Every structure is written in structure tokens, then in C-alpha cells.
Structure 1
């Protein structure tokens, strides 16, 4: 693959878009961050500057340009990679992936950062001018967690995965190739089982959340237990992921989703609302 452009475009100036813009701008790479709301762009820029002030030693910082969606063409003209970082709404992601294919040169790699929807699912039934450049680039919580899962389709050009693996390493990620299409990639499939069993233990009254997290941390020597981790992620997000798994896989138990729905219906979404499995207002 011949590269004439060297910028990376992030579509969506939320939490992940901001963090990924920071990561991809390291090593001097120019980055465009695009959003429909100028207020989101301002917040993202402030957050990125805060991350940069914490660097020790300072990284080589590439320029970050903020653009509204109407100026997306400007970003695409300079980019070899564009990553959508939109909310976990399948219809929204399908719409933007179609738009990106329409607007982007066929050589530009188009990636989704979705945590629950595979790029195959996002692309299903859509009509593309270049269907060999789509991938998932699933990140966790950069820069603190630098793991990046790279997953293509059976149509993805063979040179794209090695290129992304190499570029990701250069920019401070620890990339892993998901070798076959997998809903939940690698880590989230394993983590989903831990979450699900944790919720079943709580729903059945086998142990309290405090006891679950204390035991988990004592055995595995981790800073957070599964209950606290779910609260940090947001119980509404956890529920949406569980509902998605239940749609595509047989045998997913109802109990964990019932337990989550009760909390979500009360507005107890975790850290962001002050209460979830644990109460943070105290």
C-alpha cells in the first residue's frame, strides 16, 4: 500500500476520541479530530492538553486540528487512516461508515473503535466503493491502558493488518491481532464471562459486591474488582453490551441483564451518576 498522506482522523470528540487523538499525535503525526459539536471539540482539546502536560519526558507532539463534520473532507484529504469513535449505536455507526466510504479515497483505511460491534456487523448490507479497507481498532483506556485489538474481515487487504500493527507500536500502543472475526474481540470475550458470573453471584445473593471485589483483588492482586470496574465503565454501557451478546449468542442467562436493568431503570449508572453497584456520593 502506497502512502502519500500521513495524518490520522478521529471522528467523535468524546472520551475515546480525545484519548486516541492524543495517542496518534505522538511521534509528530498530524491528527484531525472531527465532531458535530464545537463545544465537544473544545473540551477534547483541553483534555488532550492536560494529558500532554503530564508527559514525562515530553513526547514529540504532532498538531491536532479541530474540525466540525462539515469540514470532514479537509481531514480526509490528508489522512491515511480514519477511526470512528461514536457511541455504541449500530445504526449510527453504519450511517457514518457508509458516509466515510462515500467521501474517503479508496486507499484510506476506515476503522471502527466499537467495543461490541464487529466491523463485519457494521458493514453488513451496505454498498461500498471499496470494501477491502475496513477494520476494527478497539482500544481500552489510553494512554493508561495501551492495548489495541486489530481485527479485519475476509475482504481486508492483506497489507493493512501488518501496517496497522507497525504504526500502532510506533505510537505507543500494544497491538494484538484478532486472527478470526470475533464479537467481543479477545479480551472482552473473557471479561464478559467475568462480568456475567459476577452479576449472577450478586443476583443470587451468593455474596455482596464488597465481598466479591475484596476476594477478586486479593486473589489476582488487581487494583479494582469487577463491580468497581463495571461502575467505572457505566452500567448502561455494560447492559447494552450484554443485550448485544444475548442477541447473537444462544444460552446467555437472563439474570445478569435483569439485575443490571433494575439499576439502570433507577438511574444508578455507576461513577458518572454517583451510584451504581456501589454508592459514590458517600
Structure 2
């Protein structure tokens, strides 16, 4: 298949959550057919509404593609016409392994299988699995919010390089800003660097060097970002931040324990960030409760 050609067939996206519906919008932006697959009918409908909302806000001169909703019952027939399938299921390693094993079993060997996992590289997910054609599996991780066009493409030691080239080319044509991760890397490029910023932030707080407000203020003053590290961690959820940090610690070794201990203490006090009303900041007080 020539890289300059648009692949024939559809794109299938497994999971209609925040990432899945965003990908449905992007991959349907050049007239292609996209299937959004989820067990939850309400999530599917909300996903389609989200795609339509983004389209009304977009400056777009071309032809929009068709986004169709489907349940996993029809997955096998959908995959037979797909050039790409992307898993966007929750960040649970066992679930991702189950889904990718099923996709490898059902999809034709010409179909590229991509994982959108943010914290597990494709090599980690498929380690120990018996697969039919592992050379067509790779990671394709994009970011949030929608105006962030970056997507990181990373293979494993058996990924066919031509498929990485093909996906890179297609991502460019569909409005992404693709980045090639040339070696297996936990956290890809951006999240790996961002993890170090979060870790050093937590270490500084654990040592009593400053307050969260001061870290955010100086970070925003110097880098001109809209939010600082503590504000960002509150949005993500401190329990999720701890899960990610534990993953880095298990994989790398030698990382300081104080950042994880600091998070554990906050979580025990039900300070999870925005979702619990309190984290580094008190959101209940801000909202007048």
C-alpha cells in the first residue's frame, strides 16, 4: 500500500469515552467511515452528540465522514472492512490485554491495531500474549483537550515499520500532529517529561520547600502556561496520578518514594482533586459550598 494513498476501508474505535469520541471526530474529518463501538448505549449517543458539536465549531471546507454507532456484538463484521482499529477502553492493563487479544483474533491481517493507552506502551500490553500477527500492533496515543493535535506513534520490537509510516502519514492528513517515538518508552515523549515535572513538584512539597499555590504561580509566570502542575494534577485526579507514578516506579526502579508517599497521605484524607472537591486546592470553597 502506497503511503500517499488513503487506505480503503473504515476506522473502528473501541470505547466511546472522552478519547474515543475525539478520535471519531478526527478520523471522520476527511470523509472516511468511522464506527464507534461501546457496550453503553448512552455513552455512544453522547459520543455522537460530541462529534456533531465539534463539527459545528470547526472551520472545515471538506466533506465530513460518517460516524456510525455499534455494539461489540457486531465487531467481527465491522473489522472485516477496517484498515485501522483503535482501542480506547479504560486504563486497565487486564482489560486492554483482553481487548487487543480479541481484536488480533477477529481483524484481518491487513488491519492495523492501535492502542491509545496513556501509561502502557504496546510492548507492555502484549507481553506474554499469544497473537496471530503482532507485527501490525502499535501505540497511537493522543492528548486532551480537542485543540491538542499531538499524537504519538510507537511500535514494539516486532512492529512492521511500514505500518508506522503509513499511520504517521494518515494522522497528518486527518489533522493530527504526529510524533514518532523511536524506542519503547513508558510515557512516550510528553508524558515521560511531564511525569518528571509532577514527581519533582511532589518531592518539593514533601520537603516543605513551598506551597502548591507558589509552585503553580512560578510555573505559570516562567512558562506562560494556563495552569500549573498542582492544578493539572487536581484535574486528572490524585489517585490516577499515584497509579501512574507507581507504574513508573515499578518499571524503572530508583525513583524517590516521597512523591508517592505524599500522594498516599492526601488520598487517605479524601483529597483526590476536583472530583472529590478538594486536592491541592479547596474546590468546595471556590464554589461557595
TM-score tier after normalising by the smaller chain length = over 0.9
Partner residue of 2:186? 183
Describe the shift of the 1:202–1:214 C-alpha distance in structure 2 as closer, same or farther (beyond 3 A). Answer: same
Matched residue SS, 2:68: strand
1:138 alignment partner, one of 116, 120, 141: 141
Q: Does 1:211 align with 2:210?
A: no
1:258 alignment partner, one of 257, 261, 269: 261
Partner residue of 1:125? 128
Partner residue of 2:235? 232
Conserved? CA contact 1:148–1:174, under 8 Å: yes
Q: Deviations over 1:223-251 (max 9, x none)?
A: 11111111222222211110101111111
Q: How far apart are residue 12 of structure 1 and its match?
A: 0.7
Describe the shift of the 1:259–1:59 C-alpha distance in structure 2 as closer, same or farther (beyond 3 A). Answer: farther
Partner residue of 1:16? 19
Distance 1:59 1:116 in 2: 34
**Matches of residues 1-282 of structure 1 in structure 2 within 5 Å?**
1=1, 5-57=8-60, 60-281=63-284, 282=286
Conserved? CA contact 1:23–1:142, under 8 Å: no
Distance 2:59 2:117 in 1: 30
Distance 1:271 1:58 in 2: 38
Conserved? CA contact 1:20–1:142, under 8 Å: no
Matched residue SS, 1:159: helix
Matched residue SS, 2:280: coil
Q: Which runs of 5+ in 2 are unaligned?
A: none
Distance 1:225 1:205 in 2: 18
Q: TM-score, normalised by structure 1?
A: 0.95
Q: TM-score, normalised by structure 2?
A: 0.93
Q: How far apart are residue 56 of structure 1 and its match?
A: 2.6
Q: Which runs of 5+ in 1 are unaligned?
A: none
Q: Deviations over 1:172-192 (max 9, x none)?
A: 100000001111111111111
Q: How far apart are residue 272 of structure 1 and its match?
A: 3.0
Describe the shift of the 1:28–1:128 C-alpha distance in structure 2 as closer, same or farther (beyond 3 A). Answer: same
Q: Deviations over 1:106-145 (max 9, x none)?
A: 1111011111111011111111111110100011115211
Matched residue SS, 2:164: helix
Distance 2:45 2:198 in 1: 35
| Residues paired across the two proteins, number | 282
